[in-house]
Structure 1
């Protein structure tokens, strides 16, 4: 991912995401960051980036208190089995969008021996609580996004994108938007719903009834990272095409670009199939250059890229 321009991030973006490092010499041009954010038992006021020169992976370290960890009554039946963060995507400047998932379970206390509670696992909540953050990896500043629709039960909104805008070209961003698309079935066919967070307002907004740009009456399966490119966000269905939109617009228009028929994949439905596909297929910004991506067995093959 590129780490351009966020060094001097504008104060207009957010009061909590103001500036990066004071010295440009400290800024790497780009980095490959591990998708899992590490939690640290620390009271540090900011996150930190353990930078490694590409092609080695850098790691984002989040102090646990900044990640808004779940709070369960130790005497109650509910416990947290897993709380972890994933870097979902980045803006073209390098701001990171993180999703933290709380997998909780019902484990009533069945006995107490020597002050130690013994519990029995009776149920796991598959509708996980989700908490999302925007992070400047250079300055370490972390901003918690409000809950979508006022609830943490938003695991269905998995593929989000983050886009920045600047008042002047090649200058630090002045604002950012986080957005997610979903399809909606009405009496006249399919339309789209966009939920977006604008840094200017600090709130989520729901835009309904966006006309579908899809050429066929079939659902689109958004299954890859949402890209920020050319002032728009791009949602990818590797078996069909790409839907794009400008989330800053008062009336976001949706556009559809069909992928070359020789490059599309089979339609995948299950999470496991998507995970396997993600190891071998990729759509990204290549600046028009040809590229190869290597699979886990070391074989080289062409990757798909969405170009400006």
Structure 2
């Protein structure tokens, strides 16, 4: 559908939050009203419904994303696999991020997997195939990608964004962000959007008004010593007219994707939250592993499991949970000028659990 109708519909609904995003609704089973939801961001595209859908559930339960398979483009023009071939088509869908208005950016990967038929069950001809999966069918073949902007409240969806081709495809990872912007001096409903990903000084960008992907070169961003690059490990966040790419080990970079000369700016996490620079290279080393009291053989406690940057109440916030009793949850708010973080809350979760915990959780 036309962009202005899609975005105007969202504005009319009053969305004003991030990927734990807003949707005013009532849970008839519990009789509770709620204004935000938790989304299970990944799913397999399946079925023939005309449009995607979110099955809303009140938090802390997860709302479920459903995406029909007809939205996926064929991988680089490849034909559909024959049912009797040793290749299977998997359509993996992810809600990459949300805009500040609650729109979702959907990414559908068309993946071809080697899956040898080892037996058949049922009728001699056409019975169910039992397969042994062995990996990607062709390691040199990049999966086909389809991107859409989706309104989860009324199920309206944009036209498929153009395919990312050539050198641009190398920059298209899993950290695309979505930012909307209003015309007429910034007032009224949004009338355009940008989808972008930042890699060093390069930005891969799609603008709704041009309808094309392009690569821009931005200014150099100074990172702390010993940190040659920022490696995002959560979804991009839209806040304060910019997209924020977050490395939960040490900080975030923000930039305006509507600018033809992006000027990325680095914001460090609170001083006590900086992790060693080698975390990305080796996971959590033995010293840190002992400090975290996380000793499962071969397991690694990744930063995204206990840290998060997001928008709540109109502010950019950072939260983290400690790993030992009493499991302290700390919440920080970024100052208005972006110069630093202010500690707002520090709560011992063990005490809450001792007092009965959350009524919906054991």
Q: Is the 8 A contact 2:10 2:102 kept in 1?
A: no
Q: Which moved more, 1:134-143 or 1:75-84?
A: 75-84
Q: Is the 8 A contact 1:176 1:198 kept in 2?
A: yes
* Alignment equivalent of 1:57, drawn from 62, 65, 75: 62
- 1:1-308 aligned at under 5 Å gives the runs 13=3, 19=9, 28=24, 29-37=35-43, 39-44=45-50, 46-68=51-73, 72-74=80-82, 79-80=87-88, 82-107=90-115, 114=125, 123-124=135-136, 125=138, 127-143=142-158, 144-149=160-165, 157-167=173-183, 171-183=188-200, 192-208=201-217, 210-215=218-223, 216=225, 218-267=228-277, 268-269=279-280, 276-286=302-312, 287=314, 299-303=327-331, 306=334, 308=336
Larger radius of gyration: 2
Aligned length: 287
Q: Which moved more, 1:117-126 or 1:159-168?
A: 117-126
Closer/same/farther in 2, CA of residues 105 and 154 from structure 1, 3 Å limit: farther
CA distance in structure 1 between the aligned counterparts of 2:100 and 2:264, rounded to whole angstroms: 20
SS at match of 2:146: strand
SS at match of 2:165: helix
CA distance in structure 1 between the aligned counterparts of 2:282 and 2:44, rounded to whole angstroms: 23
- Aligned twin of 2:28: none
SS at match of 1:269: helix
Q: Which moved more, 1:51-60 or 1:108-117?
A: 108-117
What's the offset of the Cα at 1:12?
6.7
CA distance in structure 2 between the aligned counterparts of 1:33 and 1:109, rounded to whole angstroms: 35
Q: Which moved more, 1:80-89 or 1:283-292?
A: 283-292
Closer/same/farther in 2, CA of residues 82 and 155 from structure 1, 3 Å limit: farther
What's the offset of the Cα at 1:301?
1.8
CA distance in structure 1 between the aligned counterparts of 2:83 and 2:57, rounded to whole angstroms: 43
Hey, which of these two has a bigger chunk of helix by percent? 2
Question: Which runs of no fewer than 5 residues in structure 2 stay unpaired?
Answer: 15-22, 25-34, 285-299, 337-362
Closer/same/farther in 2, CA of residues 136 and 236 from structure 1, 3 Å limit: same
Over the aligned positions, Cα root-mean-square deviation in angstroms equals: 4.0
Q: Is the 8 A contact 2:37 2:62 kept in 1?
A: yes
Closer/same/farther in 2, CA of residues 40 and 170 from structure 1, 3 Å limit: farther
Closer/same/farther in 2, CA of residues 57 and 139 from structure 1, 3 Å limit: same
What's the offset of the Cα at 1:86?
1.4
Q: Is the 8 A contact 1:97 1:133 kept in 2?
A: yes
Q: Is the 8 A contact 1:131 1:152 kept in 2?
A: no
CA distance in structure 1 between the aligned counterparts of 2:57 and 2:10, rounded to whole angstroms: 18
Question: Which runs of no fewer than 5 residues in structure 1 stay unpaired?
Answer: 1-10, 184-191
Q: Which moved more, 1:229-238 or 1:281-290?
A: 281-290
What's the offset of the Cα at 1:203?
0.9
Q: Which moved more, 1:271-280 or 1:61-70?
A: 271-280
